[in-house]
Chains A and B, each alone.
Chain A
Amino acid sequence: MKKQFKERAVKLLGSEAEDYFEILKKPLIKSLRVNTLKINIKSLVKRLEGKDWVLKQVPFIKQGFWVLKGPKHIGNCIEHFLGYFYSQEPASMIPPLVMNPKPGELILDLAASPGSKTSQIAAMMNDEGLIFANDVQINRIKILKINLQRIGVSSVIITRRDGGNYRKNPCMFDKVLVDAPCSAEGAVRKKWSILNQWNLRMINKLSRLQRFLIYSAFTALKPGGVLVYSTCTLTPEENERVIDCLLQRFPDARVVPFRIKGLKTRPGITEWGKESYDSSIKHCARVYPMDNDTEGFFIAKVRKR
Chain B
Amino acid sequence: MMEQYGNVIKGAFFINNKNKVFLVSGLINFNPNKFNADGAGLYIGRLERDGFRLSMEGAQLINAKKNVLIIPDELVYDWTRGFKLKLKNPYKGYVIIKNGPDVLGCGKSNGELVLNYVPKARRILTFRKDAHVPISKD
Residues of A within 8 A of B (CB): 38, 73, 76-78, 81-83, 127-130, 132, 141, 145-146, 148-150, 152-161
Assess whether B25 is in contact with A155, with CB atoms less than 8 Å apart.
yes
- The 4 A-B pairs at the shortest CB distance, nearest first, are namely A155-B26, A154-B42, A158-B39, A130-B26
Assess whether B36 is in contact with A161, with CB atoms less than 8 Å apart.
yes
| With A82-B102, A128-B26, A155-B25 as contacts: A76 and B124 at CB distance below 8 Å | yes
What are 28 of the A-B contact pairs (CB < 8 Å)?
A73-B126, A78-B76, A78-B80, A82-B56, A83-B56, A127-B26, A145-B38, A148-B42, A149-B42, A149-B57, A150-B57, A152-B57, A152-B61, A154-B11, A154-B23, A154-B25, A155-B27, A155-B41, A156-B40, A157-B27, A157-B30, A157-B32, A157-B35, A157-B37, A158-B38, A158-B39, A159-B38, A160-B36
Interface centre among A128, A132, A145, A158 (most CB of B within 10 A): A158
Assess whether A132 is in contact with B35, with CB atoms less than 8 Å apart.
yes
Assess whether B40 is in contact with A157, with CB atoms less than 8 Å apart.
yes
Min CB distance, A167 to chain B, in Å?
14
Interface of B is mostly: mixed
A82 surroundings in chain B (CB, below 8 A)? 56, 60, 102-104
Min CB distance, B25 to chain A, in Å?
6
Assess whether A159 is in contact with B60, with CB atoms less than 8 Å apart.
no
Q: Closest chain A residue to B9 by CB distance?
A: A154
B55 surroundings in chain A (CB, below 8 A)? 149
A130 surroundings in chain B (CB, below 8 A)? 26-27, 30
Query: Is B94 part of the binding interface, using a Cβ–Cβ cutoff of 8 Å?
Result: no
Query: Is B117 part of the binding interface, using a Cβ–Cβ cutoff of 8 Å?
Result: no
Min CB distance, B116 to chain A, in Å?
13
Complex-state Cα separation, A282 to B57, whole angstroms: 44
A141 surroundings in chain B (CB, below 8 A)? 38-39
Complex-state Cα separation, A73 to B126, whole angstroms: 9
A157 surroundings in chain B (CB, below 8 A)? 27, 30, 32, 35, 37, 39-40
Q: Closest chain A residue to B123 by CB distance?
A: A81
Min CB distance, B15 to chain A, in Å?
15
Q: What are the interface flags for B98-135 relative to A under an 8 Å C-beta threshold, 1 for contact and 0 otherwise?
A: 00001110000000000000000110111000000000
Query: Is B83 part of the binding interface, using a Cβ–Cβ cutoff of 8 Å?
Result: no
Complex-state Cα separation, A146 to B36, whole angstroms: 19
Q: What are the interface flags for B38-59 relative to A under an 8 Å C-beta threshold, 1 for contact and 0 otherwise?
A: 1111110000000000011100
Assess whether B42 is in contact with A153, with CB atoms less than 8 Å apart.
yes
A155 surroundings in chain B (CB, below 8 A)? 25-27, 41
Q: Which of A38, A76, A158, A160 contacts B126 (CB 8 A)?
A: A76
Min CB distance, A294 to chain B, in Å?
26
B71 surroundings in chain A (CB, below 8 A)? none
Can you add 12 more A-B contacts, CB < 8 Å, to A83-B60, A154-B26? A78-B124, A81-B122, A82-B60, A82-B104, A150-B57, A154-B42, A155-B26, A157-B30, A158-B39, A159-B36, A159-B38, A161-B36
Complex-state Cα separation, A161 to B37, whole angstroms: 9
Q: What are the interface flags for B53-95 relative to A under an 8 Å C-beta threshold, 1 for contact and 0 otherwise?
A: 0011100110000000000000010001000000000000000
Query: Is B8 part of the binding interface, using a Cβ–Cβ cutoff of 8 Å?
Result: no
Q: Closest chain A residue to B35 by CB distance?
A: A159
Min CB distance, B30 to chain A, in Å?
7
Complex-state Cα separation, A150 to B61, whole angstroms: 12
Min CB distance, A237 to chain B, in Å?
32
A148 surroundings in chain B (CB, below 8 A)? 42
B35 surroundings in chain A (CB, below 8 A)? 132, 157, 159
Complex-state Cα separation, A81 to B80, whole angstroms: 7
Complex-state Cα separation, A145 to B24, whole angstroms: 15
Q: Closest chain B residue to A104 by CB distance?
A: B26
Complex-state Cα separation, A159 to B104, whole angstroms: 29
Assess whether B24 is in contact with A154, with CB atoms less than 8 Å apart.
yes
Q: Closest chain B residue to A135 by CB distance?
A: B38
Min CB distance, A128 to chain B, in Å?
7
A149 surroundings in chain B (CB, below 8 A)? 42-43, 55, 57
A76 surroundings in chain B (CB, below 8 A)? 124-126
